[in-house]
Amino acid sequence: MNRFAAPVTVRAAAKINLHLGVGAPREDGFHPLTTVYQAVGLCDDVTAHPDADLTVSVTTTDWVDAAAIPVDGANLAHRAAVLLGRHHDRDLTGRLEVEKAIPVAGGLAGGSADAAAALVALDRLHDLGTSDDALLALAAELGSDVPFALLGGTALGVGRGELVEPVADVGTWWWVIVPSRVGLSTPEVYRHFDRMFPNASPEPPDADQLLSALLTGQPVSLARTLHNDLQEPAIDLRPELGDLIDLGEAEGALRGMVSGSGPSVVFLCESADHARDLAGALMRTGQDVVLVANGAVAGAHVVPSHV
């Protein structure tokens, strides 16, 4: 490694599932999904600095629970580094600095974003020239949402969500995101889905209506077609999420929805102004963290490092 190589910073976005259709568990235990992901403007940055060892450190914004993030080999950025190294038959080193703004265990795929960002940052730091196809395959090994974190934009995901392809999306969509201070375990929500829906079809519900709504560019049309099969189990585990959705809709959101497996709740709005108004209204009701973000934004990409 060139000890004098410049650090590389890669930004990766949170995701919202505009459609999350879940089928009965497959033989390998994974649930088959038909999902439409959208990358939104709430991002983590991963900076890879040249170093003789592989280490991870994490800094967080106010609403992110730093204590819930491992800084050892369990960190998804670290796991990404090991996997990328294995792909190239070498031990990759680097000091990975993760700056997190995406809530942990929030249903926004923050860990997946960090894994995708680490793959790209280390590929560039070490000038590995990994092909896009190889990066996507490594991403799929790291987690179902990681390939989408590389791709960004708006995309259809099938399989367990790891098989992604971009879809046509003509809108600019404005979201209010209300994270929760306490995360919700994704496997726990899936287990609860199985308890609540023991007769779920093996085929997840398709996303055709939502894909048509994306082509209208009209928030009202998109609002009608948002769909999340994990919403009921998430609300059953955390009834206050249902109350929050009702509150946001009463305050004028076009539609409120649990994001992925939760517990973050997202509200679709008409416009940037509408989103800011709704965010203000929700803060006045006592929500301590309310964020505004738009989509779709880019997947993991290099940004000029902070000097």
Q: Which of 15, 100, 169, 229 is flagged as catalytic?
A: 15
CB 122 within 8 A of CB 81: yes
In the complex with ligand ATP, the residue whose CB is nearer, 160 or 274, is 160
Among 93, 154, 186, 294, binds ligand ATP (CB under 6 A): 186
Q: Please indicate whether residue 100 is annotated as part of the active site.
A: no
CB-closest chain residue to ligand ATP: 111
Q: By three-state DSSP, how is residue 76 classified?
A: helix
> How many other CB atoms are found less than 10 A from the CB of residue 261?
30
Residue 202 CB, nearest approach to ligand ATP (Å): 22
CB 22 within 8 A of CB 230: yes
Residue identified by tokens 């106010």 is 62
Among 10, 104, 116, 269, binds ligand ATP (CB under 6 A): 104
Residue 30 CB, nearest approach to ligand ATP (Å): 13
| Cα separations in angstroms, 142 against 42, 57, 147, 161 | 21, 19, 9, 12
The yes or no reply on residue 20 touching ligand ATP (CB under 6 A) is no
| Cα separations in angstroms, 177 against 48, 64, 166, 204, 258 | 29, 14, 23, 26, 10
Angle between the 239-250 and 272-284 helix axes, to the nearest 10 degrees?
Answer: 120
Q: Which of 123, 145, 169, 229 is flagged as catalytic?
A: 145
Give me 14's structure tokens: 């949170």
For 13, list phi and psi in degrees, rounded to 5: -95, 155
Q: Which of residues 83-102 bind ligand ATP (CB under 6 A)?
A: 98
In the complex with ligand ATP, the residue whose CB is nearer, 145 or 169, is 145
Q: Please indicate whether residue 145 is annotated as part of the active site.
A: yes
Among 9, 34, 38, 261, binds ligand ATP (CB under 6 A): 261
In the complex with ligand ATP, the residue whose CB is nearer, 162 or 251, is 162
CB 157 within 8 A of CB 163: yes
In the complex with ligand ATP, the residue whose CB is nearer, 68 or 215, is 68
Applying CB under 6 A, which residues contact ligand ATP?
Answer: 68-70, 74-77, 98, 104-112, 114, 145, 186, 260-261
